[in-house]
Amino acid sequence: MPDFNCIKLHRAFFLRVLIFILLFCSVLAIMSLVLIPKEFINSGYPGTSAILGFYDLPEESLDVLFLGSSHAISGIDTQKLYDDYGYKSYTLGCGEQNMAISYFYLEEALKTQHPKVVALETLMAFPFRHDKVLYSSAAASEKALNFMRPGVNRLRAVYEISGYESELNPLYLLLRFMRYHERWDNLDEKDILIFDDYAYLTLHGYAVNYGNLSNDPPGYRPFDKNSGKAGELSPVITDYLLRIVKLCRDNDIKLILFKTPSNKTGADEYQTMSSFAAENSLLYMDFNEEGLYEDCGFDFTTDMGNLGHANFTGAEKITESIGKTLVSMGITAGNPDREWDETEGLYNICRQNFLLSIEDQKEEYLSMTENSRYSLFIVSSENGENTVYVRCDGKEVLYKDGTPVTGVLPGSEKEYEAASNKEGISVIIGDEEKIKGNSSWYAVVYDEYLRDVFDVVYSDENGKLIHM
Amino acid sequence: MFISLNYLIFLTAALVLYYIFPYRYRWFILLSGSILFYLSISFRTLPLLILIVTVSYFGSLLLEKNKSRSLFFVICVLLLLPLLLTRTFSRITELSIFAPVGVSFFTLQIIAYLSDVRSGKTNVERNYLKYLLFISFFPQILQGPIPRYSLMEDLCKGHSFDEKKIIKGFMLITWGFFLKLMIADRAGIFVDTVYADIERYGGTYIFVAGILYSLQLYTDFSSCVCIAKGSAEMFGISLPENFSRPYFSGSVKNFWRRWHISLSLFLRDYVYIPLGGSRKGRIRRYFNLMATFFVSGIWHGGGLNYIFWGLLHGVYEILEELLKSTWERIGIITGFHGHRRLKRIINIFITDYFIMTAWIIFRAESLSKGLKMLWNMLTRFNPWILFNDSLIMDNFETSDWNILILSGTVLFLMGLLQEKGVNIRERILGYPALLRGSLYMGAILVCIVFGEYGAGFEAGSYIYAGF
């Protein structure tokens, strides 16, 4: 029979071992956080790290929880929903969020929140990547799981998702320092900023898309609601959808399905999802359907950042429509909350940035950049003059002989260098060469608040600004 | 294999079970663990291992009773010999031979055991399961060290829990991980790149690759031995030493007293001495030496490059002896003879250079390629690559060089201390607990962050596992 006397006799030793293991695990956990790539942090597109911000929400504060892919992240204006309707909402989304991730994120969310409504964006219910069971890439699942807190839910998520995705190593997903240990050579301030609230400064999961399609209008048309033919959802997707439905029912939460405007799904998908919604007595809102599209006044050319994602004005329109629907469903808003009041400032910054990003007249553009949080770098080579203009940290420097200008960006350790000479014109921010070329006029705008380069433009032969 | 999280979990579980079971059952825990370990690395070949152990077990029983022991022993060896030649045969025929993992090591172990039974040096083991444990003990079955029968008593004893041995074993395992992840597998990247394109990388590139391969092979093999010894030590079991800082040798003869010691001793006791050793005159002794190194070459794989490598070492030893007095005279004329330390350093450099040249052939795909590389190294003059950025490659960047040089320096300093007789592990044990804990944690974290490994903490396979 086993005899545990050995452990009793060497109590002190085993206690020391235990302390060592605990300390070691703590150091590893911190190391993992530092080593995980922070691709979306501080970049103006806080998609995949949205779950970090979610964990910081006051408990039981949410009225509406949005789940879904990047289409939901850029399509739902959580600030507008609060400002106009009083609904405190959060988009717990991530790039290519498959239905399994949506389900486990919902489980995770319900640990601390009890929203009245969950709205699930349905892009990933249909083949996005045809060779994948869950229709999303392994990398997308990995990124989505990276920042989930350790616990049984994360273990289940890792176990189930790696079962469908052979490229995912469950050990990697659990012991993340192993996956990313080679990144020690590429760490930068973003990796350390993980411990700073600023790092995942988001508009409650909303990431503004600053593009528009005016320069290249697509031939998009919304479809008639009677067109298309209902197909079958895959068994795996159906299973996760049903689990989401059940979880919402068990927790007395209303579930809405929605699809933002995009060219990724059409009438067949609409019919398929409508059937599923009808079978489960759910509301389904597809903004690609002509009626809804027209009702919210959507214009694919000016309201889309690209063919899949709504831009700032697009998100406003979709959100307005969802807000009205929530009111019509009798969903009452909870009390105002500082958490949502405090993001008003950031929201206005995003609005200003959006307006800047669609401006194509040079004079207007330059006047809009006259804001202390912008650093402006203009390099040009016109009429034999090599001009370098830098406005940064309240100072202006102008050289017309191509003398390079160097310095350090405010609120950052990053160095910059702007030059215009015989070799061409260039602007380097940190280690990145933001522009290098021989065109006549370039401008780079650095946003101190976002701690990132916000916009790079050049002027075409007609003097019109082209945003890169 | 050893460098994996699975192994660490397995080892921890085996240790817990070993120490919570009563003393008399502890050897059985080791046996169960060994079988489980073997199953996990080579499920298909376990029956073959069992068959070999069973045959040799009954062989030993018959050998004990049989009057014509020598004849019977020869029959046993002839039966086992094909196992040692599987790699050679596989190389010649280009066929994939179905051989148990670790066959080259445990076959030698069996031959040594049978030989000792024949000569009466040891008693025959009658308990089949204990004999199975002796052959299959998991820390040593893959790459040795090749133990003698004296290990049996240690294995079956049932050791009591000893904190000191647990910590010392842990230190050795950590050191093994350091050698493999920080040095061996990283150096291997550069070596593989150069060997993959010898037309492009000639001259000094080959010289650098030769140095790095010498380092890689030593740290790779030594890592496995450290983990094996460390694991065994945690159970209170002592495995024989296999390395004693071989690159600090001042002669090739001395090198073979420090490199793969258990194989060298096996070859000495069961090949060199039975052939007559040094008892039958100088010429015969040289012949015996060449024959022994020939066997060593065959054991390493049987390719012509391995045989040439073995014979080259034989030639080195013979020349070393023949030129000894000339070398002494040169020392007296040039004046370094009187400076013991300088003389030793020069001897070490010369020895290591010749050993490195032999490793270049050893590592090559074939003898002709190896010789071509040697010729290229000696005739293509491009030492400037040491001073510009040529040694920095797409897959081997400055950071890799930095880690390799730093880790190599740590290895060198540790070796230097050990050469001076310092027992590093004992010294660390004397440090205050907080300092010790920090040292252990620092060492593990360094391996985790800066180590060269891939999926699931799996490092590349061990080079010697292929022999």
- Is B22 in Cβ contact with A3 (below 8 Å)? yes
pLDDT of residue A346: 85
String of DSSP letters for A57-101:
SPTT--SEEEEESHHHHHH--HHHHHHHH---EEEEE-TT--HHH
Phi, psi (rounded to 5 degrees) for B463: -65, -45
- Is A27 in Cβ contact with B441 (below 8 Å)? yes
Query: Is B456 in CB contact (< 8 Å) with chain A?
Result: yes
Edge-to-edge strand list for the sheet holding A283-286: A89-93, A64-68, A117-121, A254-259, A283-286
The SS3 of residue A315 is helix
Q: Does the pLDDT value for residue A117 go beyond 90?
A: yes
Place of tokens 């590093």: B424
Distance from CA of A158 to the nearest CA of B (A): 14
Mean pLDDT of chain A: 87
Show the CA angle centred on residue A337, arms to residues A333 and A343, nearest 5°.
110
- Is A169 in Cβ contact with B20 (below 8 Å)? no
Distance from CA of A20 to the nearest CA of B (A): 7
Distance from CA of B449 to the nearest CA of A (A): 5
pLDDT by residue (tens digit) across B204-240?
999 999 999 999 999 999 999 999 999 999 999 999 9
- Is B449 in Cβ contact with A3 (below 8 Å)? no
Question: Between B272 and A42, where is the model more confident?
Answer: B272
- Is B433 in Cβ contact with A20 (below 8 Å)? no
Residues of B in contact with A177 (CB under 8 A): 448-449
Query: Is A178 in CB contact (< 8 Å) with chain B?
Result: yes
Write the CATH number of the domain with boundaries A39-174+188-350: 3.40.50.1110
Cα nearest neighbour of A34 on chain B: B449
Q: Does the pLDDT value for residue A217 go beyond 90?
A: no
Query: Is A171 in CB contact (< 8 Å) with chain B?
Result: yes
Residues of B in contact with A138 (CB under 8 A): none
- Is B457 in Cβ contact with A178 (below 8 Å)? yes
pLDDT of residue B194: 94
Q: Does the pLDDT value for residue B70 go beyond 80?
A: no
Does residue A467 contact residue A453 with C-beta atoms inside 8 Å? Answer: no
**Where does the pLDDT of residue B352 fall: very low under 50, low under 70, confident under 90, or very high at 90 and above?**
very high
Question: Of A134, A124, A135, A180, which Cα lies nearest the Cα of A157?
Answer: A134
Cα nearest neighbour of A8 on chain B: B20
Question: Between A286 and A421, where is the model more confident?
Answer: A286
Does residue B234 contact residue B166 with C-beta atoms inside 8 Å? Answer: yes
Edge-to-edge strand list for the sheet holding A395-399: A395-399, A385-392, A374-382, A441-447, A452-459, A465-467
Query: Is A195 in CB contact (< 8 Å) with chain B?
Result: no
Count residue pairs from A and B with Cβ separation < 8 A.
Answer: 58
CA–CA distance, A436 with A428 (Å, rounded to integer): 9
- Is B444 in Cβ contact with A24 (below 8 Å)? yes
Which parts of A369-451 are beta strand (E)? 374-382, 385-392, 395-399, 405-408, 415-421, 424-429, 432-437, 441-447
Q: Which member of B450, B453, B456 has the closest CB to residue A184?
A: B450
pLDDT of residue B457: 47
- Is B449 in Cβ contact with A177 (below 8 Å)? yes
Distance, C-alpha A271 to centroid of its chain? 28
Mean pLDDT of chain B: 89
- Is B433 in Cβ contact with A16 (below 8 Å)? yes
Cα nearest neighbour of A22 on chain B: B441
Q: Which member of B20, B166, B450 has the closest CB to residue A2?
A: B20
Residue ranges of A 21-60 with Cβ closer than 8 A to chain B = 23-24, 27-28, 31, 35
pLDDT by residue (tens digit) across B264-297?
999 999 899 989 988 888 899 999 999 999 999 9
CB neighbourhood size of A215 (10 A): 11
| A248-272: average pLDDT | 94
Distance from CA of B20 to the nearest CA of A (A): 5
Question: Of A175, A13, A316, which Cα lies nearest the Cα of B455?
Answer: A175
pLDDT of residue B28: 93
Residues of A in contact with B445 (CB under 8 A): 27-28, 31
Question: What are the Cα distances from residue B30, in Å, to B27, B33, B136, B159?
Answer: 5, 5, 9, 11
Residues of B in contact with A24 (CB under 8 A): 441, 444
pLDDT of residue A274: 95
**Where does the pLDDT of residue B466 fall: very low under 50, low under 70, confident under 90, or very high at 90 and above?**
low
- Is B440 in Cβ contact with A16 (below 8 Å)? no
Cα nearest neighbour of B457 on chain A: A178
Question: Of A110, A414, A123, which Cα lies nearest the Cα of A263?
Answer: A123
Is residue A117 within a helix (H) or strand (E), and if so which, with residue range?
Answer: strand A117-121
Question: Between B205 and A420, where is the model more confident?
Answer: B205
Query: Is A184 in CB contact (< 8 Å) with chain B?
Result: yes
Does residue A230 contact residue A72 with C-beta atoms inside 8 Å? Answer: no
pLDDT of residue A397: 85
CA–CA distance, A453 with A119 (Å, rounded to integer): 33
- Is A185 in Cβ contact with B399 (below 8 Å)? yes
Q: Which class for B146: exposed (0-12), middle (13-18), buried (19 or more C-beta within 10 A)? A: buried
- Burial pattern A167-182, b for ≥16 Cβ within 10 A else e, equals ebbebbbbbbbbbbbb
Residues of B in contact with A22 (CB under 8 A): none
Interface test mutation site (partner B, options A176, A178, A180, A183, max chain B beta carbons within 10 A): A178
| A17-41: average pLDDT | 85
- Is A175 in Cβ contact with B163 (below 8 Å)? no
Can you list the alpha helix ranges (DSSP code H) found in A359-426? 362-368
- Is B20 in Cβ contact with A3 (below 8 Å)? yes
The SS3 of residue A464 is strand
- Is B448 in Cβ contact with A178 (below 8 Å)? yes
Query: Is B455 in CB contact (< 8 Å) with chain A?
Result: yes
**Where does the pLDDT of residue A39 fall: very low under 50, low under 70, confident under 90, or very high at 90 and above?**
low
pLDDT of residue B456: 47
Query: Is B401 in CB contact (< 8 Å) with chain A?
Result: no
Q: Which member of A2, A27, A171 has the closest CB to residue B21?
A: A2
Phi, psi (rounded to 5 degrees) for B393: -115, 175
Q: Which member of A171, A175, A181 has the closest CB to residue B449?
A: A181
- Is A31 in Cβ contact with B449 (below 8 Å)? yes
Q: Which member of A13, A27, A178 has the closest CB to residue B163?
A: A13
Whole-number CA gyration radius for chain A: 25
Cα nearest neighbour of B440 on chain A: A20
Q: Does the pLDDT value for residue A241 go beyond 70?
A: yes
- Is B441 in Cβ contact with A23 (below 8 Å)? yes
pLDDT of residue A193: 67
- Is A16 in Cβ contact with B456 (below 8 Å)? no
Residues of B in contact with A35 (CB under 8 A): 449
Cα nearest neighbour of A25 on chain B: B441
Q: Does the pLDDT value for residue A198 go beyond 60?
A: no
Enter the pTM of the model: 0.79
Residues of A in contact with B437 (CB under 8 A): 16, 20, 23
Domain boundaries, chain A: 39-174+188-350, 370-467
pLDDT by residue (tens digit) across A316-346?
999 999 999 999 999 999 899 998 998 898 8
Query: Is A3 in CB contact (< 8 Å) with chain B?
Result: yes
pLDDT by residue (tens digit) across B324-338?
888 888 888 887 777
Interface test mutation site (partner A, options B19, B434, B440, max chain A beta carbons within 10 A): B19
CA–CA distance, A115 with A98 (Å, rounded to integer): 21
The SS3 of residue A203 is strand
Q: Does the pLDDT value for residue A199 go beyond 60?
A: no
Distance from CA of A154 to the nearest CA of B (A): 18
